Homo-oligomer: A and B are copies of this chain.
Amino acid sequence: MPGHIVSSYDNDLEDLRRSISEMGGVAEKMMAEATDALVRRDTALAEAVILADKRLDTLQREIEERSVLLIAKRQPMAIDLRETISAIRVSGDLERIGDLAKNVAKRVVAISDQAPAQKIVQGVEHMSDLVQEQLKDVLDAFSSRDVKAAHDVWERDGAIDALYNSLFRELLTYMMEDPRNISFCTHLLFCAKNVERIGDHTTNIAETIHYLATGEALAGERPKNDASNYATVTPAA
């Protein structure tokens, strides 16, 4: 009964999509809560984020295994093969996003006893808000297979890198102004870097959506604007 086989295959794919959607929800929540925990210096919330990461790891492993079994059992071709490959890739990116959010949460615990100027934290919060929007948009684009929306996310990653770059310089300046800021600002630097890397993973997902729809890799250079690898700041004389 070929009809039965096709329908069961569709069910398998539908299950994969549901699991990815669940992963996306967990990753979004982790990122929002890690940022809240940072802004409010809420260690209990940070601990909750750290725990939530386990669910994401489990889901990712399951999706990977189910996708591979699906490929082995059904020998899908063309679009159906791309569906399963995309599931593996997107779940990998979401798992990494969870790791990065967890790392921000761990740093909230580290700096919980310090009371830095709220203005410094707001830069990271603002950047995180933008990346959360990117994550939401790319997950919507994945659900609706909306290639244009995915391209929009891809294009906007350059702005986030530019923001990270200016935040990097700002944090270095704070450290130079007062050595008591160094420990705190170092953790904020890593938080900002983690958020920037979450942005990179949303860009990866956007590229996967393009591949899923067209069968081709997204052409052209990524709109990278992260010059912070090259940035230095000199203390005032």
Residues of A within 8 A of B (CB): 61, 64, 68, 71-73, 75-77, 81, 85, 88, 92, 103, 106-107, 109-111, 113-114, 172, 175-176, 179-180, 182-184, 186-187, 189-190, 193, 217, 229-235
Contact = CB atoms under 8 A, between A and B. Distances in A.
A176 B182 contact: yes
Contact of A110 (B71, B72, B107, B231): B231
Nearest to A71: B71
A77 B103 CA distance: 37
Contact of A71 (B68, B103, B187): B68
Contacts of A110: 229-232
A179 B176 contact: yes
Nearest to A226: B106
Given A71-B71, A72-B75, 17 more contacts: A68-B81, A72-B72, A72-B81, A75-B75, A88-B88, A103-B229, A106-B230, A110-B229, A172-B182, A175-B179, A175-B182, A176-B182, A182-B182, A183-B232, A183-B233, A184-B232, A187-B232
Contacts of A176: 179, 182
Contacts of A189: 186, 189
A106 B172 contact: no
B72 A77 contact: yes
18 contacts: A72-B76, A72-B77, A72-B81, A75-B75, A92-B92, A103-B229, A109-B230, A110-B230, A110-B231, A111-B232, A172-B183, A175-B175, A179-B179, A183-B232, A183-B233, A184-B232, A189-B189, A190-B193
Contacts of A64: 85
Contacts of A75: 72-73, 75
The 8 closest A-B pairs by CB, nearest first: A106-B229, A179-B235, A183-B232, A176-B179, A110-B230, A71-B71, A175-B182, A72-B75
Contacts of A61: 217
Contacts of A92: 92
A227 to B, nearest CB: 9
Contacts of A85: 64, 68
Contacts of A109: 229-230
Given A103-B229, A230-B106, A235 B72 contact: no
